[in-house]
Every structure is written in structure tokens, then in C-alpha cells.
Amino acid sequence: VIVMTSLHCYLGYKITDDAMAADLWLLNSCTVKTPSEDGLRNSVESASKLGKKVVIAGCVSQGAPSTKFIEGLSVVGVQQIDRVVEVVEETFKGHSVRLFGQKKEGPKKLGGASLHLPKIRKNPLIEIIAINTGCLNQCTYCKTKHARGELGSYPIEEIVQRGVQSFAEGVREIWMTSEDTGAYGRDIGVSLPDLLYEFVKIIPEGCMLRLGMTNPPYILEHLEDMAIILNHPRVYSFLHLPVQAGSDQVLEDMKREYTSAEFCHVVDFLRSKVPGVTIATDVICGFPTETEEDFEETLRLIDKYRFPSLFINQFFPRPGTP
């Protein structure tokens, strides 16, 4: 949203927080949970009643472009946000435009739109850098995979350049994010530690780096390096590591590609090597194959570690998932 908004400002459009005053609603969407998709549907219905023009962006439209309530609306795909102004202009002319293509270099998927597009930051002190899009997993409950697709990583040099530019603009914190930061670089022959060792070199005094979510399978082979990086004075000792369930049977049914013991190994290792490290995790409750005993295993794991940050999510069946 930040990039899409700033592109419009850059080309002379006026951005307003007053939905009633806007001529066009640019709605960014999330397909992770049913309630977020319901929120988009409600916004589209409200816009229709008010006679507002609408452009849809984000994962709902990308993952399910034939969804009934977005029929006839203009859509900009998750890898096409650099063309959002073009879509808006055509929508103002009364046309319905849909751009879903992936950015590629030959047969290889790229990370997406350039990291050097102009931005209007909601918080001028924080820059959020997406280091890759898509992922390597096939989690049975996940709809986001349908929208984001396979892994596409940005080159290390481009991410570092964006960091240098951001710090020069007065940013004090950089948050690295993606659907799975731990998988970074596996499609281009590098790794997350390769990126981080280069990135910490350009963090000025008084500034910090915060790492986003990583799934357990892709961090296991980099534990020594990750401990070194999380001990760096300009990197927050924080890692978001979703477990989703404490039962190996449920993890297998979810196709999470790790066991409860492997997750515990990551937590134990980092807690032993990184003093005061904060590890956040996620749990999905009510997965279709989860038994009472499976649930108790999850509770025992949570009780064992007493995570300072725990995100508990209800399972929602998503269209197109097993």
C-alpha cells in the first residue's frame, strides 16, 4: 500500500483518508483468513453503493481472480504494483483492467516490482523491505501460496542498496519481511545469512535491523550463523518462528516439513546462544485432523517455552486448499 500510494502522489494524485471524499478506492487485500476476505467483500459492496470506482490489489484477487464479488473490477497483481497508476487511470476512463503477470528473467521468477520505487512511509523512521516473494512450502491450509506462487528472491545488492538509500532518508529501523525470510536466496544460489552478513555492514550507528518470519525447515541449517547475526549490536534479538502445532501428526497433515523436535531444537539453540532472545510463534487451533491429544501436545509445547509473543489463529477452510 505504501508503494502504491506514493506512486500516485508522485504523479500528482491526491491521497485522502476520507473514504467518502475519494473518487476511487484502492483496496489492498489479504487471503490468509476468511474474515480478511469478508472485509474486502464488505468494502467492495460499500463502494458500489456509494458509486465509487474501485481497484483491487493484493492476494485475494491474485489467488482467486474469478471470485464473484470482484467481477468487473480492475485488479493489479501482487507482482505488478509498479503499474498501479496505469490501472487507476484506465479505471477512471471507465475501463476494467486486470494485470496478473509475474516478473521474470527468462524462465526464472523475480522478486517482484523494483525495491527502488518511491515510498510514503506511515512511520518515517521505519522502512519495510520485502526480500523475496512466494515460498517453497505447500502447506495444506494456505491460500497465500495460490497468490504469491513459488519463491522469487531479490538480489543481495538490490536489498543492500535499498537499505543504504533508506538510512540516507532518515530511517532508523529496517524490517526485513517476506512470506518466509528463511527461504531467501535458495532460488538464486545464496542464503539468508549471506544477505544479513552484507546488510549489517551498512547499518549506521543508532539504527537497527529487525528480521521477519521464518519457517523452521529453512533455518535449521543456518543456526550458527543466525546466532551470530542475532547477537549483532544493530540487530534485534528477535525471531518469529511459527510452530503451528505441537503434534507431529498434525504437522505432517499440514505438510509443514519439520517435526516438533526440530522446532524445539531451533528454540533451544537460539536461547542458549543469544542471551535474551525473543522468539514469537504461531499456533493454528481446530485443524481438521487435530484430536484432543494433538491439542494437548500443542499446549505442552507452549507451556514448556512460555513464548513472550504467541499468535493463536482459528483454522479457516480456504477455497482451493485440500
Helix (H, G, I), strand (E, B) or coil at 213: coil
Distance CA 263, CA 84 (A): 40
DSSP at 107: T
Mean pLDDT of 75-92: 84
Q: At residue 111, does pLDDT exceed 70?
A: no
Q: At residue 97, does pLDDT exceed 80?
A: yes
DSSP string, 17-68: S-TTT-SEEEEEE--SSHHHHHHHHHHHHHHHHHT-EEEEEEHHHHH-TT-G
Task: Please name the residues in contact with 79: beta carbons below 8 A apart, sequence gap of 6 or more.
Answer: 101, 102, 103, 110, 112, 113, 133, 152
Percent of the chain with pLDDT over 70: 88
CB 82 within 8 A of CB 53: no
Mean pLDDT of 307-318: 91
0.85 surpassed by pTM: no
Distance CA 183, CA 133 (A): 10
Mean pLDDT of 114-122: 75
Distance CA 319, CA 143 (A): 7
Q: What is the reported pLDDT for 109?
A: 66
* Helical axes 156-168 vs 192-199, angle rounded to 10°: 30
Distance CA 292, CA 301 (A): 14
pLDDT bucket at 12, cuts 50 / 70 / 90: low
- Mean pLDDT score of the chain, rounded to an integer? 88
Per-residue pLDDT tens over the stretch 204-230: 999 999 999 999 998 999 999 999 999
| Residue pointed to by grid coordinates 506514493 | 6
Q: At residue 274, does pLDDT exceed 90?
A: yes
Q: At residue 66, does pLDDT exceed 90?
A: no
CB 184 within 8 A of CB 191: yes
pLDDT bucket at 254, cuts 50 / 70 / 90: very high
User: Which range (141-155, 214-228, 254-268, 283-297) has the least confidence?
Assistant: 141-155
CB 262 within 8 A of CB 290: no
Residue 105, beta-bridge partner list: 108
Distance CA 174, CA 235 (A): 10
DSSP at 235: B
- Regarding predicted confidence, which is higher, 11 or 290? 290
- Regarding predicted confidence, which is higher, 38 or 9? 38
Q: Which amino acid is at 79?
A: Q
Please report which residue ranges of the chain form alpha helices under DSSP H: 2-10, 34-50, 59-63, 84-92, 144-148, 156-168, 192-199, 223-230, 248-254, 260-273, 292-305
Helix (H, G, I), strand (E, B) or coil at 317: coil
Q: What is the reported pLDDT for 3?
A: 43
Q: At residue 119, does pLDDT exceed 80?
A: no
Phi, psi of 194 (to 5 degrees): -55, -45
